Amino acid sequence: MTIYIVNIFLIGIYSLIYNIRKKDNKIKLIFITVSILQLILLQALKDINIGSDMGFYWQYVKDQLYVSFQNLDFSRFEIGYKVLTKLITMVTLNKQIYLFIISCIATTSIGVVAYKYSKMPFLTILLYLSFGFYNFNFSGLRQAMAFGVVMFSYKYIQEKKLLKYIITMLLAISFHTSAIVFLPAYFLKNINLTKQRVLLIALIDVIVFIFKKQIFNIISLFIYDNYTIVETNSYTWMLMCLSIVAICLLFYNATVRKNENAKSLYIYVIIGASLMLFAPIANNILRIANYYLMFMILLIPEVMETMKNDKNKYLINFLVVAIAILIYLDLLNGDAFNIVPYKFFWQ
């Protein structure tokens, strides 16, 4: 676990240097670039067996040495991942280069959105770690790349470039079909959350939660067979997501007045939290909800920037950072993706 703690400590040090010269965009770019490169290298230099699905993925990579482009359709993965893997194996079978390319696709977009859209880049990167998105990259390679491409598509949502958004989303879907759930996001970006709409959403969520089994049975007919009812009794993360939404909604008007683009962040996080209502009966729902929930890493800094009282602001910043670090340490202790202890490839 030590390497992960050192990782987050170093990013914190970089952030202190950036904050001393906060108005310097060049320093901001350097801070984010170094931090993201560090995250990429941590994944690229790991032992190939770190990550619960890695043995399965690496065997697939080796199998591609004997498969032609014409026969790619006979393997089980989505076409984007199959083509990418085949292209890599045509050049090299080096494990670290393979991991580096995958990690770049999955993680670089976090740096892009942190630079362009985050009011607090350090907190954005920290939340990316503490909410488990980064840990997932060690194991679920295809979907990790899909998450990364979806995050990059936010750029085209903000720039109102529909064609580029659709092309980007098709790329995400080619890495993991589940990314299709984010396709409507472009058309939801300008919804204004009035009190009446918030109450209506809350009422719908209550109804969904009561009838979640019946609703999920219907939905599962149209998605993967393995998305079936499993009594997980997983309420902690669901309640945490709902709590984050509730707290952020208290600052909705102030946040949107300061940045109208924050409307889309609120909508996405609310959709993600609503999907989490199925968490107690569906062990894979987080993988779907995360396409929307990952925008918490931008929403929370937006909300925190609306606070006017400097003393309270600094105290809340400290508390949020401390809580985020504790959550991250708890995730490492739980080790859902088999990434602890960390091993470099030469060990």
Maximum separation of any 2 CA atoms in the chain, in Å: 63
What is the pLDDT, as a whole number, of residue 184? 95
Q: Where are the alpha helices (DSSP H) in 140-194?
A: 141-158, 162-175
Q: Where are the domains of the chain?
A: 1-179+325-347, 189-306
The encoded tokens of residue 196 equal 């009446």
pLDDT of residue 18: 79
**Does the pTM of the predicted model rise above 0.85?**
yes
Give the separation between CA 339 and CA 46, rounded to whole angstroms: 9
- For residue 106, give the 3-state DSSP assignment: helix
**In the block, which residue shows the tokens 């340490």?**
329
pLDDT at 315: 83
Question: What is the C-alpha separation between 241 and 274, in angstroms, rounded?
Answer: 9
Look at residue 230 in the predicted model and tell me its pLDDT: 45
| Res 347: pLDDT | 84
Distance between CA atoms of residues 74 and 39, nearest Å: 34
DSSP 8-class letter at 179: G
Using CA atoms, how far apart are residues 46 and 52, in angstroms rounded to an integer?
A: 13
Q: Which residues contact 259 (CB under 8 A, 6 or more apart)?
A: 302
Q: What is the pLDDT along the chain (347 residues), one digit of tens a residue?
A: 889 999 999 998 888 887 776 667 888 899 999 999 999 999 999 999 999 889 889 888 888 877 776 666 656 788 899 999 989 998 888 999 999 999 999 999 999 999 999 989 999 999 999 999 999 999 999 999 999 999 999 999 999 999 999 999 999 999 999 999 999 999 998 888 988 999 999 999 999 888 888 887 777 666 554 555 444 456 788 889 999 999 999 999 999 999 988 999 999 999 999 999 888 777 778 889 999 999 999 999 999 988 766 667 778 888 888 999 999 999 898 888 899 999 998 88
Can you give the pLDDT at residue 238?
86
